[in-house]
């Protein structure tokens, strides 16, 4: 049976044979493209056939400083020669100095709980919130993804992740995501209040400042002010998941800063180390740290020296190369360039985002998301032009999340190519 991968790579080549091996030996083989990567630099990935692909994914918001930034690589190599791993109960300079730096980035007054993956850090945040408030319930948002471990799946609102692995319980409730295109007059702040009042008082409201996985969906400033107020009114903490939106991605150091929010716990991972070494943290306000007691919080691979070296180097690069401002500038340029697409093409329903976290949402004539084929068609067409992009779940949205170091020329070229492919698909009636 021919697949999208065959369509892209043909039936020969290293990438194709690696895909075959993947299907044979890996329980969850890649269904995405390109199948096999061997390297990368800056905004480019290199696949197993030596093709250079302009990357609009950053590996899902990981490679904010670009692939294999030389300063990050060098810091990791230097640290590996000295010490990669230390006993988790021993401190080391990297751990406390990264914690201090992250607290400073948040304006001061935060302490770090150390982990290796985003899901782990989300779970740590949930534990802290439950212990600190003495409550069990968590209110999340529909379609919001917060990880693949049982607790993070249950706290997130992706329906497909619920049915079998995690049963529904009165302790997990979900408010509607503030989706402007499908609001039908719904007042999302009022809907959240209703959900908060509809069961046991919650320990926390869990949210992303911009919901990435559903298709870069966010509310307006009033919505986030209402979230903040509603949390205060019911005595719930705010857990802000910045796993995908942190470290300059949205044109601020952290996404919640667009909305002037004051979260109690901020969860970070992914771009913290540019992906060089797994590292994640739940950064909590100091007064919550007394809830962190006992063995439930240990993490063998949490903030090992190698990861901390990668984090320091990544934070240095973000600061020295002014990548937060760069994301804001390029993002605005992208919105300006693409805004005319909504009027020009019937299938383009919305252009949205902040900084280099952008999405182009496509819908059919009844306003529904497209099934996979048109989106696969679009991403395959782009890949044939050497541009690697991914669609979202829930809505059919093309995600534009390139490394923040993408050049002006490459960004302009990608945006032009996207419009050309949309125009051609429209002409040929391929959006259906
Ligand atoms: C918003 C968000 N939170 C949490 C996670 C889970 O992170 P990890 O895959 O490192 O466990 C992800 C992963 O994509 C994410 O996008």
Q: Considering only CA atoms, which of 367, 366, 362, 368 is closest in space to residue 426?
A: 362
How far apart are the C-alpha atoms of 138 and 136, rounded to whole Å?
7
Mind giving me the DSSP string for 40-57? EEBTEEEETT--EEEESS
pLDDT surpasses 90 at 13: no
Mean pLDDT of 418-431: 97
- Domain(s) of CATH 3.90.1150.10: residues in the chain: 4-65+322-427
Q: What is the mean pLDDT of residues 90-99?
A: 96
Give CA–CA dist 345/361, Å, rounded: 12
Return the H-helix or E-strand segment holding 330.
helix 323-338
Rounded percentage of the chain residues whose pLDDT exceeds 70: 97
CB 156 within 8 A of CB 144: yes
Nearest to 202 by CA among 127, 122, 139: 139
Task: Look at domain 70-320 and name its CATH class.
Answer: alpha beta
Inform me whether the pLDDT recorded for 1 exceeds 60. no
Query: Does domain 4-65+322-427 bear CATH number 3.90.1150.10?
Result: yes
User: Residue 12: what pLDDT?
Assistant: 58
Q: Which tens digits make up the pLDDT trace of 324-378?
A: 999 999 999 999 999 999 999 999 999 999 999 999 999 999 999 998 889 999 9
* CA-proximal residue: ligand 1, atom 7 (nearest): 118
CA 321 to chain centre: 22
Residue nearest to atom 14 of ligand 1 (CA): 147
Q: pTM for this one?
A: 0.96
Taking CB atoms and a 6 Å cutoff, what residues make up the pocket around ligand 1? 60, 117-119, 122, 145-147, 208, 212-213, 241, 243-244, 269
Question: What tokens were used for 27?
Answer: 């329980």
Q: Separation of 268 CA from ligand 1 center, angstroms?
A: 9
Question: Which of 243, 246, 271, 307 for a ligand 1 pocket mutation test, highest count of atoms within 8 Å of Cβ?
Answer: 243
* β-sheet bridge partners, residue 211: 217
Per-residue b/e over 160-182, b at no fewer than 16 CB within 10 Å? ebbeeebeeeebbbbbbbbbeee
DSSP assignments along 299-320, one per residue: -TTTT-HHHHHHHHHHHHHHHH
C-alpha R_g of the chain: 21
Q: Cα of 272 to ligand 1 centre, how many Å?
A: 13
Q: Which residue intervals of the chain bear CATH 3.40.640.10?
A: 70-320
- Residue 237 pLDDT exceeds 60: yes
Query: Tokens 């939106």 correspond to what residue?
Result: 245
The residue assigned the tokens 């809907």 is 191
183-205 pLDDT per residue, tens? 889 999 999 999 999 999 999 99
Predicted confidence (pLDDT) at residue 6 exceeds the cutoff of 90: no
Question: If you write DSSP's letter for every residue of 218-287 in order, what string do you get?
Answer: ---HHHHHHHHHHHHHHT-EEEEE-TTTTTTTTSSSSGGGGTT---SEEEE-GGGGTTSS--EEEEEEGG
Q: Please state, as a whole number, how many other Cβ atoms lie within 10 Å of the Cβ of residue 32.
A: 14
Nearest atom of ligand 1 to the alpha carbon of 144: 1
Exposure string of 106-131, with b = 16+ CB inside 10 Å and e = fewer, is: beeebbbbbbbbbbbbbbbbbbbbbb
């Amino acid at each position: 049976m021919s697949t999208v991968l065959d369509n892209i790579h043909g039936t020969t080549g290293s990438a194709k044979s690696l895909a075959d091996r993947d299907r044979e030996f890996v329980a969850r083989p890649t269904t995405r493209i390109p199948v096999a990567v061997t390297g990368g630099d800056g905004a480019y990935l290199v696949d197993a056939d030596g093709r250079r692909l302009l990357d609009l994914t950053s590996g899902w918001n990981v490679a904010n400083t670009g692939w294999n930034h030389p300063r990050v690589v060098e810091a990791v190599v230097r640290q590996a020669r000295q010490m990669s791993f230390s006993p988790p109960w021993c401190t080391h300079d990297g751990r406390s100095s990264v914690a201090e730096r992250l607290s400073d980035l948040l304006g001061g007054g935060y302490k770090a709980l150390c982990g290796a993956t985003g899901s782990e850090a989300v779970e740590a945040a949930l534990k802290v919130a439950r212990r600190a408030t003495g409550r069990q319930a968590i209110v999340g948002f529909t379609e919001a993804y917060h990880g693949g471990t049982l607790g993070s799946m249950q706290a997130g609102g992706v329906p497909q992740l619920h049915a079998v692995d995690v049963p529904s319980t009165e302790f997990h409730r979900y408010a509607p995501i503030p989706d402007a295109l499908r609001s039908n007059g719904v007042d999302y702040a009022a809907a959240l209040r209703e959900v908060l009042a509809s069961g046991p008082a919650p320990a926390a409201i869990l949210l992303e400042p911009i919901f990435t996985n559903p298709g870069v969906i966010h509310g307006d400033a009033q919505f986030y002010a209402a979230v903040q107020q509603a949390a205060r009114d019911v005595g719930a903490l705010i857990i802000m998941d910045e796993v995908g939106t942190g470290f300059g991605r949205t044109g601020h150091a952290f996404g919640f800063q667009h909305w002037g929010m004051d979260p109690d716990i901020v969860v970070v991972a992914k771009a913290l180390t540019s992906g060089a070494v797994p590292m994640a943290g739940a950064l909590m306000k100091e007064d919550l740290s007394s809830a962190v007691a006992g063995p439930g919080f240990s993490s063998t691979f949490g903030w090992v020296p190698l990861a901390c070296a990668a984090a320091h180097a990544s934070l240095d690069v973000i600061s020295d190369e002014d990548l937060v401002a760069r994301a804001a500038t390029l993002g605005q340029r992208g919105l300006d360039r693409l805004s005319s697409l909504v009027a020009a093409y019937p299938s383009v329903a919305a252009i949205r985002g902040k900084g280099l976290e952008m999405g182009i949402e496509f819908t059919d004539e009844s306003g529904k998301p497209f099934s996979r084929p048109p989106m696969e068609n679009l991403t395959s067409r782009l890949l044939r032009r050497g541009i690697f992009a991914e669609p979202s779940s829930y809505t059919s949205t093309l995600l534009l999340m390139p490394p923040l170091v993408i050049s002006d020329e490459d960004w302009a070229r990608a945006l032009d190519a996207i419009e050309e492919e949309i125009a051609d698909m429209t002409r040929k009636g391929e959006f259906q």
